Structure 1
Amino acid sequence: MKLTIWGAAQQVTGSMHLLQTDNYSILIDCGLDYEKGTYQEENQYFPFDPASIDLVILTHAHIDHSGNLPTLLRMGFEGQILCTSPTADLAELLLLDSVNIFLGKQNRKLRSKRGFAGPQPLYLQKHVMETVSRFVTISFNKPFKINGAIELTFIPVGHLLGAAAVILQVIENGITKKIAFTGDIGRKNYPVLIDPQPLPQVDYLVCESTYGGRLHTTDTTLQEKLIETINETCIKSPGRLIIPAFSIGRTQSLVFTLNQIFSKGLLPPVQIFVDSPLANFATDVYRKHHELVNEEAKEFYKTKGDEFEFENLIYVHDRKESQSVSNYLEPCIIISSAGMLEGGRIQDHLYYNIQNYYCTILFIGYCAKGTLGDRLLRGDPIIRLRNRDLMVYASIKKTDLLSGHGDHNDLVQTVKQQDRQILKKVFLVHGETKSMSALATALTDEGYTVTIPEKGEEIIL
């Protein structure tokens, strides 16, 4: 059995791992690589023949894990894609949104440069719909026979609705081997999502390392942080709180937490706008798969109703409604995408409010280096938006309390569930080099054998 790490090797994005037996090839995840700049050059070609892949297994819907599936099909993959049911629904939304982003980028270049002829989008809507037709959904914790020698089990890991670790049991030459791919590991007590479930004992573990060497804030709770920020921005002063949030996952957890705060009467009523069509669709997916939310959310539903609906909450739909939010003169909270401020309706709200002394922009997620969000977080006094230089007068704040990733201690605990006498090796992926090194050191100190594979490195298991 051979494992090749083709993506998220010593970097965060582009998850893609190839597991090969004598006569079967499985690709675990097929994400977009955002690390090197232009998405076309990094993602339009594969280091293997897509037609040679028999099966794809998808851990969860985020684009850095699912985003290049339509390209794989376009280039010749003919097999099925196994995932959980929520992952199938959310991946469809995100992949269609990617098409819109690709086309938007192309149109902007066409407008800015006469005669511009390329590059073309990675894929179109028809390729996404073909991809969706290949999804075969599998329930959590129910072994699924792929063939006579390979069995798959999905284990819930939090992080996102439907997110799963992949457990593969492979019989080769009469010997049974087990390998686990964690996907992205969530954290305990996260709003709406269930806690990560312990992984069964395996022989090999491919583990994410996003937060290696870093710990989440523990001196305050999410509710306390939001109450403090809303009170300062919208109650004590007539301001507006703008929260850039990823449409799928982060927005739903944020809305539920706000629902808890206002339903308990912990703050006076404040108007809240959720301005993201994608978030609206994703929230319906969360309602559809309500049996998979955590017990706290289920109990709230029983006693107080829909976690994602409450008084003074408005879901904005079309562009006209979005523009009208800018004319709302009372204190308010605006939740909009994209989380890193790179495109989306959030840029409209930023444009009209970045020079407003009474505005606070609260970041609740990671912003990649070079993004507009990153520039604001590092304290740039001027930003350029819509061909205008704008002074930054708004207050810029951030919190990691809504990060969907487990921190260093969570990652260490995930590995420590494994008997070090049985677990032969841990392979670290999906993290910056500094994070991987910190996690590798901690795990080595615990007695585990750890490797940080390079891209394309072949490993015989």
Structure 2
Amino acid sequence: MKLTIHGAARQVTGSMHLLEVGQYKILVDCGLDYEKDRSILSNENFPFNPEDIDVVVLTHAHIDHSGNLPTLIRLGFEGQILCTPPTADLTELLLLDSVNIFMKKAAGNNGGGRHRRGKGRFNSHAQPLYMQKHVMDTVERFVTIGFNKPFRITGDIELTFVPVGHLLGAAAAVFNVTDKGEEKSIAFTGDIGRKNYPVLNDPQFLPPVDYLVSESTYGGRYHSKDKTVEQTLIDIIDKACIKEQGRLIIPAFSIGRTQSLVYSLNKIFSTGLLPPVKVFVDSPMATQATEVFRKFHNHVNKEAQDFYQKRGDEFEFDNLTYVETLKDSRQISNYWEPCIIISSAGMLEGGRIQDHLFYNIQNYYATILFIGYCAKGTLGHRLLRGDSIVHIKDRELAVYATIKQTDVLSAHGDHNDLMDNVKAIGPDKLKHVFLVHGESESMQLLANDLEKEGYGVTMPEKGVSYII
């Protein structure tokens, strides 16, 4: 077998790993790379011929794992895309949203240079990486597989999806392979979730494998343990919305994070732990994603299912409004009572959240609460590092709003979770660990502790191949 790490090598975004078994080529994930030194269009420069890929295995729907699939198809990939049923539905939503973002950026670029050839000439405007047609072509390629049900890809390759939390439908991909008469196994973790996370089941430990490609996002970092999700939110809401009579703006990914946040707020307000506060969920995609969570309600955790049986829909409660139209979204700026605004995207790169920031970043009575990871180069990262002036919608704006961050709703497992996931296999069975999907410092800290436990560890450079 040959393994090549083509994406998320010593960085977080752009997951894309090539596993070759003889002449058969398997691409595990095909995500968008949106680190600050890459343009969107650079994502179409695949380091291999898309026509040569036999099958794609998708671990979960997030755009840094799925977002370049339509480009792969546009450039010649003709095979199947294997994933779990919730992943198929959520990926479709995210890819269609990506098209909207591309189109808006193309419309907003007034000839800022030559971006891409088109039928023998340069276009004056930035062109979308792919269109809705390519997304629909992608959706038609999905073949869904349930958790823990071995699926025979070829006579020599068997795939099993193991649930890992993190997002509805998220899975590690475990391959059992017969390579030149020798039995081998390799697992790709995708993104590993954490225990006791709202709505989602706990991650399941992987079976024994020979090789492991593991994410390392929170290597060297540890989640707060002193407060629960509800206790943390109560403290922040009480100060921002009740004592200061202001507004709390929470950038949150529409798929996954928003549903967990809404469920947590439901538990707080429906049980009277805080006085009523108006809550706006300003993301049409979040509304659509919530329907997917309802559709696959058998995939949510037992606590959420029990809540549903006792109190009703986890994602509905008094004073909660799902905002649909752009007109209604803009009217939120005229709502002067204390309120909570949940809007996408989580890293502030596009989406309606930019409108809310534009009108509130200079509001002393506004609090912006980050509840997830923000990649370097994003507006969210700049705010979290303390920039006093930021660029939003073609304006340089001073930051007067209060900036807060909590990790209680981070859907990534921390250093201990990552270590436990590897240690569950054991160094006697596991021949080598390849670390991906993390910043170099995080990877190194995780690698150091794994090596102390007796594991062989590599932090691959992008494009380097390994014979395993």
TM bucket, shorter chain: over 0.9
- Alpha-carbon contact 1:32-1:39 (below 8 Å) kept: no
Structure 1 residue 101 corresponds to structure 2 residue 104: no
Structure 1: how far apart are the matches of 2:187 and 2:362?
49
Residue 4 of structure 1 corresponds to: 4
Residue 391 of structure 1 corresponds to: 398
Aligned ranges for residues 360-375 of structure 1 at < 5 Å?
360-375=367-382
1:322 shift after superposition: 0.7
Structure 1: how far apart are the matches of 2:396 and 2:183?
62
1:342 shift after superposition: 2.1
Residue 72 of structure 2 corresponds to: 72
Given the alignment, which residue of 415, 419, 443 partners 1:436?
443
Given the alignment, which residue of 286, 299, 313 partners 2:293?
286
AA of the residue aligned to 1:223: E
Task: Show CA shifts across 1:317-371 (max 9, x none).
Answer: 0011111211112111110111122221112112222222221111111222232
AA of the residue aligned to 1:275: D
Structure 1: how far apart are the matches of 2:305 and 2:206?
24
Structure 2: how far apart are the matches of 1:116 and 1:390?
32
- Alpha-carbon contact 2:59-2:171 (below 8 Å) kept: yes
- Alpha-carbon contact 1:40-1:119 (below 8 Å) kept: no
Task: Please give the secondary structure, in 2, of the residue aligned with 1:426.
Answer: strand
Structure 1: how far apart are the matches of 2:400 and 2:385?
14
Q: Which moved more, 1:63-72 or 1:362-371?
A: 362-371
AA of the residue aligned to 2:13: T
- Alpha-carbon contact 2:105-2:126 (below 8 Å) kept: no
Residue 63 of structure 1 corresponds to: 63
Structure 1 residue 234 corresponds to structure 2 residue 241: yes
1:385 shift after superposition: 2.9
Structure 2: how far apart are the matches of 1:112 and 1:24?
42
1:151 shift after superposition: 0.7
AA of the residue aligned to 1:301: Y
1:112 shift after superposition: 7.1
Structure 1: how far apart are the matches of 2:112 and 2:72?
31
Task: Show CA shifts across 1:402-458 (max 9, x none).
Answer: 111000010000000012111111111111111111111100100111111111111
Residue 16 of structure 1 corresponds to: 16
Aligned ranges for residues 234-273 of structure 1 at < 5 Å?
234-273=241-280
Residue 139 of structure 1 corresponds to: 146
Aligned ranges for residues 46-445 of structure 1 at < 5 Å?
46-110=46-110, 117-445=124-452
- Alpha-carbon contact 2:35-2:376 (below 8 Å) kept: no
Structure 2: how far apart are the matches of 1:34 and 1:388?
22
AA of the residue aligned to 1:56: V
1:391 shift after superposition: 2.9
Structure 1: how far apart are the matches of 2:203 and 2:135?
30
Identity of aligned residues (%): 68
Task: Please give the secondary structure, in 2, of the residue aligned with 1:120.
Answer: coil
Residue 117 of structure 2 corresponds to: none
The number of aligned residues is: 461
Q: 4+ residue runs of structure 1 moved beyond 3 angstroms?
A: 36-41, 111-116, 386-389
Structure 1: how far apart are the matches of 2:25 and 2:255?
31
AA of the residue aligned to 2:88: A
1:251 shift after superposition: 0.5
Q: Which moved more, 1:78-87 or 1:117-126?
A: 117-126
Structure 1: how far apart are the matches of 2:354 and 2:191?
28
Structure 1: how far apart are the matches of 2:188 and 2:8?
13
- Alpha-carbon contact 1:160-1:404 (below 8 Å) kept: yes
1:119 shift after superposition: 3.7
Superposition CA RMSD, Å: 1.6
AA of the residue aligned to 2:456: T
Residue 118 of structure 2 corresponds to: none
Gap regions ≥5 residues in structure 1: none
AA of the residue aligned to 1:425: H
1:36 shift after superposition: 4.7
Task: Please give the secondary structure, in 1, of the residue aligned with 2:168.
Answer: coil
Structure 1: how far apart are the matches of 2:460 and 2:358?
43
- Alpha-carbon contact 1:153-1:167 (below 8 Å) kept: yes
Task: Show CA shifts across 1:285-341 (max 9, x none).
Answer: 111100000111001001000000001000000011111211112111110111122
AA of the residue aligned to 1:388: R
1:381 shift after superposition: 2.5
1:383 shift after superposition: 2.8
- Alpha-carbon contact 1:85-1:137 (below 8 Å) kept: yes
- Alpha-carbon contact 2:111-2:126 (below 8 Å) kept: no
Q: Which moved more, 1:319-328 or 1:273-282?
A: 319-328
Given the alignment, which residue of 460, 463, 466 partners 1:459?
466
1:386 shift after superposition: 3.5
TM-score, length basis structure 2:
0.96
Structure 1: how far apart are the matches of 2:4 and 2:36?
21
Structure 2: how far apart are the matches of 1:73 and 1:371?
28
Q: Cα gap change, 1:113/1:428 in structure 2, threshold over 3 Å: closer, same or farther?
A: closer
Q: Cα gap change, 1:413/1:335 in structure 2, threshold over 3 Å: closer, same or farther?
A: same
- Alpha-carbon contact 2:251-2:345 (below 8 Å) kept: yes
Structure 1: how far apart are the matches of 2:322 and 2:199?
19
Structure 1: how far apart are the matches of 2:112 and 2:181?
62
Structure 1: how far apart are the matches of 2:112 and 2:411?
37
